[in-house]
Structure 1
Amino acid sequence: MMKNVKKASPEFATSETFVWWDMDSCPLPSGYDPCRLGPRIDTELKNLGYNGPLTIIGIGNLEGVPHDFLKALSSGGVVIKQLQLGSNMILCVNEALNSSESRFQPPLTMMVISAVHADLLEEVVSVFYIRGSLYNLLLAYPYVTEHADPEPSSLLVDNFGGEWVWDRFGLLKDSGSANEIRRQDTGCEMHFCGLCDLSFPSFDDFTTHFKTPPHADKPYLAKVKAKRLEFIEFDNYFKDDDEDDDIPKTEKAIGDCRRSLVFPSKECYYNVLLERRLLS
């Protein structure tokens, strides 16, 4: 299923397109061939007129992910990145949007595949809103994802290209063609190990790195897992619901307001976001 989907306007038809796939919150459906993912997304975008350079990035916690699965993704043109400790995909998208690299300059299209929809509105949509009509946003998310109000299409009138459901009936649907082909150019994006802060030009180099110490060392992996849990616990510390909430009540009220109200205008919505940032 898809909605609010528009054909690429002339400025986006030949410009850079980046796809950011949150592998943790949006896993592939059971039985879905991972080597099909790159060509499937490529075909969907080409059908809408996005014919410029395309980079698809799969990012997440790769601990325990089978080598054959990652290899199949890579063969379909997906660049794979291991998250840094304490990071998440939305932070990576924001970093790219704030980068001075020429490939992230307008006109630019970004597709963000993530189940973190409320955070997405605040952290990414606001950037697109501020940047203006030469930044084009596409969204995909699981069917069960709860929308935050207001929806992106009502905010980004000039630079919202559409949204898809992340399932076999939406973005991953069977096109009926056995000849879906992935564009070979994946830009200059490299596979990346966030735990070691190292980049690799080829998938073979990337997986060789994961087979060598300290990644093959179980005590090391146990320490990484413990450290990851520390970050999660620290993050959750500020999200508890008890009466002695650590979040200032004014800020909490604004956060609740964002999730429960349909704002009369996009200006009103971002004024609330600005106030929230000033309070933090």
Structure 2
Amino acid sequence: MKNENAAATPEYAIAKIMVWWDMKDCPIPGGYNARRFRRSIEGAFNNLGYSGPVSITAYGDQTQTPDHLLHALSSTGIAIAHARSESTASLMYSDMVKWRGHNPPPATMMFISDQVDYVFSLDLIRLQQKTLYNLFLGYSVRSKAIAELLTSAEWRWEKLLWSTPVVNKHEEIISAMFYCKSCQFDCQSLEIFRNHLSSSKHAWQEVRKPTARQLAPVTRKWGRNYPAKPEYATAKIVVWWDMVDCPIPESFDATRVRPSLEGAFKNLGYSGPVSITAYGDQSQTPDHLLRGLSSTGIAVSHANSHRRLMRMISDLHTWLIKNPPPATIMLILDDVDDVFSNFVSGFQQKKKNNIFLAYPYRRYKMSAVVTSAEWLWESLLAVSETRRHVLQRCSQRGESTQMFDCKTCCFDCNSLDHFRKHLSSRKHKWGVSILSQYIISLEPF
């Protein structure tokens, strides 16, 4: 998800910029003066209004890099890091995580690599939702395997080097460091660095304790069901519930859905007003369930199977535009990654809200969406059985005064009888027919 190389906002214009560069994926082109590299990068930043201090670290198997390139790069203040090619991505990511720990926002990070999408974008998306930094990318090949990562600027590698006006800065460059990631060795001399890389000690270390090849996602260890932070404790809570994926269990009293959810929220310290909308094919939902839900202030929305999730996304998008943070958003559905992941994680990198999830089965993979609480659907409903909770007053239900609506026909009312009559009407059936024909027309032959 890219903003078209947007101009720097005031808080980032003079903030520090850190660049991690994979020299294998994005090598110095033949005929290019390596001393120009830093100035090309800074020129690209300057074109967008960034003038903060720039730090660059170049990663690669430096036993294969000619001395004249290493000398030229280091003479302009670029740090040189030796890493075996198969470990470069994991080391770059590990160094980025450490850097974030010592450098709070506002700041800008840049990765020059073809590995961002496939290797660490999922974990990075989650990090960005928790603590947002400005993000730039440079690459030789752009795959966009995961589209949710929000960037402020992106460049093709060689175009960046050759077409960017060079910035001539009259400033003293401190001699850069050389690092061996295999041995935790560093120095400021190319000769000493070369001697180290050719030593038996270094060779033995790379065999005995090779650096990690696989990325260790730091966000995988993040817990769930955190106590409410002060800014969210009394903020509004809005719930989008897919009744098809997460139906009301047989013999469960529909009037207990709201107190079950509010009880779970209260257990974590949330006491803000709760709005709930239930989506599904309501022509198949028994009257006693609809009556039970609506009697407790839950809005009931009819949408057929083809449109249900898209209507939820559309309504969520509209709500987010009209309601700035802080707020808590809850999704009750089978798999947030199927439909909602791109939208929610992208929006969370812009305007951060609290996210809750409930699902019928435990997820087997890490989601791009960072949550503050998660529940299994049936265990969430059991909350009202273990503790008695008082329903909030009707005035706290939320903004909606229309308790039933049909997404197919843009019809709404506050009477179950009127709602039923609409769903059985010719007008509704005609609307369903037109929608079905439209959906079929979109399917590939």
Q: Give the conservation status (yes or no) of the 8 Å contact 1:110–1:138.
A: yes
Aligned to 1:108: 107
Q: Say how many residue pairs are matched.
A: 230
Deviation of the 1:264 alpha carbon: 5.0
Aligned to 1:31: 31
Aligned to 1:276: 365
Deviates further, 84-93 or 44-53? 84-93
- Counterparts of 1:82 and 1:189, CA distance in 2: 14
Does 1:195 pair with 2:182?
Answer: yes
Provide structure 1 residue ranges, at least 5 long, that are not aligned to the other structure. 237-256
The amino acid across from 1:166 in the alignment is W
The amino acid across from 1:92 in the alignment is D
TM-score (norm 1): 0.68
Deviation of the 1:228 alpha carbon: 8.3
Cα pair distance change 1:83/1:123, threshold 3 Å = farther
- Counterparts of 1:16 and 1:188, CA distance in 2: 19
Aligned to 1:246: none
Instruction: State the structure with more CA Rg.
Output: 2
Alignment of 1:248-267 (within 5 A): 263=341, 265-267=343-345
Deviation of the 1:64 alpha carbon: 2.3
Question: Helix, strand or coil for the counterpart of 2:57?
Answer: strand
Aligned to 1:210: 193
Cα pair distance change 1:267/1:110, threshold 3 Å = closer
Cα deviation 1:115-144 (Å, max 9, x = unaligned) = 102223113232122213xx11111111x3
Cα pair distance change 1:176/1:122, threshold 3 Å = closer
Deviation of the 1:221 alpha carbon: 6.0
Question: Helix, strand or coil for the counterpart of 1:26?
Answer: coil
Q: Give the conservation status (yes or no) of the 8 Å contact 1:76–1:182.
A: no
Does 1:163 pair with 2:154?
Answer: yes
Cα pair distance change 1:267/1:44, threshold 3 Å = closer
RMSD over aligned CA atoms reads 3.7
Aligned to 2:256: none
- Counterparts of 1:229 and 1:49, CA distance in 2: 41
Detail structure 1 runs of 4+ shifted over 6 Å in the superposition. Answer: 185-189, 268-272
Cα pair distance change 1:264/1:79, threshold 3 Å = closer
Deviation of the 1:175 alpha carbon: 3.8
Deviation of the 1:29 alpha carbon: 2.2
- Counterparts of 2:170 and 2:49, CA distance in 1: 14
Cα pair distance change 1:266/1:173, threshold 3 Å = farther
Alignment of 1:137-152 (within 5 A): 137-142=135-140, 144-152=141-149
- Counterparts of 2:29 and 2:339, CA distance in 1: 33
Cα deviation 1:231-260 (Å, max 9, x = unaligned) = 65xx59xxxxxxxxxxxxxxxxxxxx97x9
TM-score (norm 2): 0.45
Alignment of 1:238-257 (within 5 A): none
Cα deviation 1:61-114 (Å, max 9, x = unaligned) = 2122111110111223322122389553122212222x2x3xx12111111111
Question: Helix, strand or coil for the counterpart of 1:121?
Answer: helix
Deviation of the 1:166 alpha carbon: 1.1
- Counterparts of 1:188 and 1:161, CA distance in 2: 30
Deviation of the 1:262 alpha carbon: 8.3
Cα pair distance change 1:188/1:221, threshold 3 Å = closer
Deviates further, 81-90 or 21-30? 81-90
Cα pair distance change 1:174/1:126, threshold 3 Å = same
Aligned to 1:89: 92
Cα pair distance change 1:227/1:187, threshold 3 Å = same
Q: Which structure exhibits the higher relative contact order, with contacts defined as CA atoms closer than 8 Å and separated by 6 or more residues?
A: 1
Cα pair distance change 1:268/1:196, threshold 3 Å = closer
